[in-house]
Amino acid sequence: MKVSHQMLNIAKFICFCFLTTVIHFANAQSNFDSMSGSHPSFSEILSFRVDSVLNLMTINEKIGQLVQYSGGWDATGPSSSENHQYKLSKLKKGEVGSMLNVTSVAAIRETQQIVMENSRLKIPLIFAYDVIHGYKTIFPIPLGESASWDLEIIQKSASIAAKESAASGLQWTFAPMLDVSRDARWGRIMEGAGEDPYLTSKIGVARIKGFQGGNLNDKFTVAACAKHFAGYGFGEAGRDYNTVNIGDYELHNTVLPPFKAAAKSGVATFMNAFNDVDGIPATGHRELQHDILKGKWNWDGFIVSDWGSIGEMIAHGFAEDKKQAAEIAMNSGSDMDMESYAYEGHLAELLTENKITESQLNDAVKRILKLKFELGLFDDPYKYCDETRERENVYTKEHLKIARDVARKSIVLLKNENKTLPLSKSIEKIAVIGPLGDDKDVPLGNWRGKGVYNSAVSLLEGIKNKVDKNVQVSFAKGIELMSETVEPGKNQFLYPIKFNTKDKTAITEAVELAKKSDVVLLSVGENAYQTGEGRSQVNIGFAGLQNELIDAVTKANENVVVVLMNGRPMDLSEINKKVSTILECWHLGSQAGNAISDVIFGDYNPSGKLPVSFPYDVGQEPLYYNQKNTGRPYSMDHVTFSSYRDAPKEALFPFGFGLSYTNFKYSDLKLSRSEISKDGSLIAKIRVTNTGDKVGEEVVQLYIRDLVGSLVRPIRELKGFEKIKLKPQESRTVSFEITPETLQFYTQNKKWEVEPGTFQIWIGGDSKASTTAKFSVQ
């Protein structure tokens, strides 16, 4: 019988793990004997296995486990790159713990083989990739998907992303992003769940459950990563990587809750942030990483730096050189160095100088080894390398069907004054107009994993797929949005955004088509690469010549449905004056056009709600619903109040807002008690009735205000929601339990507690809900 070299190596490695584990168990027998005859738990066995490997490692091998390199090359092929050869030599020595950007089963197997066939201890690599909203089957961008407020479907989309990733050889994704984001100028707002810490927490946990499943040893799950720890979404002026200046109370009450929820849910890893928090770079922030995350929260995963962020502490002016940066990061609790070369270059020297301790090093290594054991990589380093599994589980019909469902649930109907929507399928002439109308790439959005260029269903295709052949569907682009097209496979971080600001010649054709059509679907918004990392903007309106096209088309036809495709809240104040119907469609992914058509023709009644506030003007940013009152909240009759003289203070479309093709009535709000103790609870019930003539889904939202506190409290805070489906004229009573956890906050005493006093609640369909009641805490 012929045994392959690969199989022989696997067998050798399994024997190695078995023998070292047996030796460690023998040495620890006295510990088991003291357990009154009980069997060791899974966590105890895991700990012994980790220690058995750790005890065999040299200092350089330990440091190597804290090193993550970016790959993406032919690992075994020739290369003239000095950096390539350097990384190759480190892999062979077993002095690399993880690789990112190595994708496909073949490439991952090749890279894993380098370690398994050459290194002394044969500790397997863990392979990571940015799987943000799908691997090859692309779902709506996270901000758009959050508009579904549907935790079950969000978890499902993450599980499919995990399945495709794992089938392609990966074990780790850098998602979900849990940064609360209040500034529409920040390009990376597209990657999170919006402006509210409660909603972000719930959605973050749903995504973690989707990625990790019930067991990381499952071949179709991947380790998740809660990022960016912490404060990244609060960058000054909405500028990426910028400084963050927030107080301790804002940090604990707004920024940290989603991360605490992630830690509690068992997320495998955290990623620290690029920014500083009040002068201390997050990568070197000991209080955040060591004291809070690993200390108070007792979280046992590992922290990876963001790309090069350890070395970037030099640019911050917080470290003199990479040696000092490595010292600060290690002493602060940052475990793995992504592409900074600081740990591999200086930790050994810092150990001999007693500037870091071996116990610190061991703790970081144990955390990383623990995840590798949990993923099953020690039992089979090639566990995820199965080409058949890759072929059968990536970009399947089933996955595309679910992507379509997620996409349509993410659409938000912002305006429908003339009841233009839903359209009748017997309409005679439909015009699809706009630079995004036939675009098959923009709907994929930024951070699109392995989504194939130009693979999305366009709006035009979706409309044609929906209507009969006797319906005339015509298209006119009107303008080119960009002056240069995106080249397939071009590095998104190097792609320059260049808008067309001169060529208006095709607007005339669009106007003529609008004039002779029954309805115009005007598709405008943002290019896929206007949002995402490094894509902050001071202008959140319509770039290029879109405003000229909008003006011309709306003058030519009053029956215009604006179909927005975008990755951030946009300034819609002007277009809102010109049209009666606006559909917020985000960047919806692979099935965008079909999902939009489902909503446009009423095959799906829109149920999305905004996870972010849409402003009247960019000058309002940062804008969010859960603001605090000032001593002079507002007055239209006097100048000396907190307001603007040239624009409203509130949002054009507020947080939680979204219309339906039916209507919902809220009535009979009742509290089970009007007074509770600090550790007591009560039930709030409300009757919700579908008063329209269509089946519809409604997101019932609970908001609370602590009227007087030791700190100034927000005017409203989301504290619960439930998505329900009602038939025409059907009613349902929705209940919310209000517990101490609902009411507590990080107080002036610097601890989480419930303060006595009066509380007001509101329940309704958005953050402007008017159905209200009060109760007191004694």
User: Could you tell me the CATH number of the domain that includes residue 419?
Assistant: 3.40.50.1700
CATH number (domain holding residue 681): 2.60.40.10
Q: Rounded to 5 degrees, what are φ and ψ at 211? A: -65, -45
Helix axes 105-118, 82-92, angle to 10 degrees: 60
Element (DSSP H or E) covering residue 605:
none
Whether residue 372 sits in one domain with residue 460: no
pLDDT, mean of residues 309-322 = 98
Where does the pLDDT of residue 24 fall: very low under 50, low under 70, confident under 90, or very high at 90 and above? very low
Res 149 pLDDT > 60 = yes
pLDDT for residue 639? 82
Query: Are 276 and 360 found together in one domain?
Result: yes
What percent of the chain lies above the pLDDT cut of 70? Answer: 92
Same domain, 348 and 466: no
Q: Is residue 395 part of a domain?
A: no
**Degrees (nearest 5) of the Cα angle 545, 547, 550?**
115
Q: Verify that 59 and 133 share a domain, yes or no.
A: yes
The rounded distance, in Å, linking the Cα atoms of 714 and 711 is 10
Give me the percent of the chain exceeding a pLDDT of 90.
88
- Which tens digits make up the pLDDT trace of 177-208? 999 999 999 999 999 999 999 999 999 999 99
- Please report which confidence band the pLDDT of residue 39 belongs to, taking 50, 70 and 90 as the band edges: confident
Domain end: 586, 605, 620, which one?
620
Q: Does 71 share its domain with 104? A: yes
Using a 10 angstrom Cβ sphere, with 0-12 exposed, 13-18 middle and 19 or more buried, the burial of residue 659 is buried
Contact partners, residue 751, CB within 8 Å, separation at least 6: none
How many domains are contained in the chain? Answer: 3
pLDDT of residue 718: 98
Please determine, for residue 459, whether its predicted confidence score (pLDDT) is greater than 70. yes
* pLDDT (mean) for 506-533: 97
Choose the final residue of a domain: 554, 585, 620.
620
If asked whether residues 383 and 434 sit together in one domain, one would say: no
d(CA 370, CA 375): 9
- Per the annotation, the verdict on 706 as an active-site residue is no
**Same-domain check for residues 365 and 442:** no
Q: What is the side-by-side strand order in the sheet with 757-764?
A: 675-676, 772-777, 757-764, 696-706, 717-726
Q: Is the torsion defined by CA of 545, 548, 552, 553 positive or negative?
A: positive
For residue range 614-649, what is the model confidence (pLDDT) as tens digits?
A: 999 999 999 999 999 999 887 667 788 888 989 999
Q: Label residue 492 by pLDDT band (50, 70, 90).
A: low
Tens-place pLDDT, residues 721-755: 999 999 999 999 999 999 999 999 999 999 999 99
Assign residue 52 the CATH number of its domain.
Answer: 3.20.20.300
One domain, residues 361 and 423: no
pLDDT confidence of 31, banded at 50, 70, 90? very low
pLDDT for 720 beyond 50? yes
Residue 42: count other Cβ atoms within 10 Å of its Cβ: 8
Mean per-residue pLDDT, 458-479: 97
User: What is the pLDDT confidence band of residue 405, given thresholds at 50, 70 and 90?
Assistant: very high
Residue 762 belongs to what domain range? 664-777
Catalytic residue among 196, 306, 439, 706: 306
Q: Does a structural domain hold residue 639?
A: no
Intra-chain end-to-end CA distance of the chain, in Å: 79
Q: Which residue has the tokens 């047996």?
A: 22
671 lies in the same domain as 737: yes
In terms of domains, do 472 and 510 share one? Answer: yes
Three-state SS string across 665-724, please?
EEEEEEECCCEECCCCCEEEEEEEEECCCCCEEEEEEEEEEECCCCCCCECCEEEEEEEE
pLDDT of residue 74: 55
Please report the pLDDT score of residue 640 as a whole number: 85
pLDDT, position 25: 41
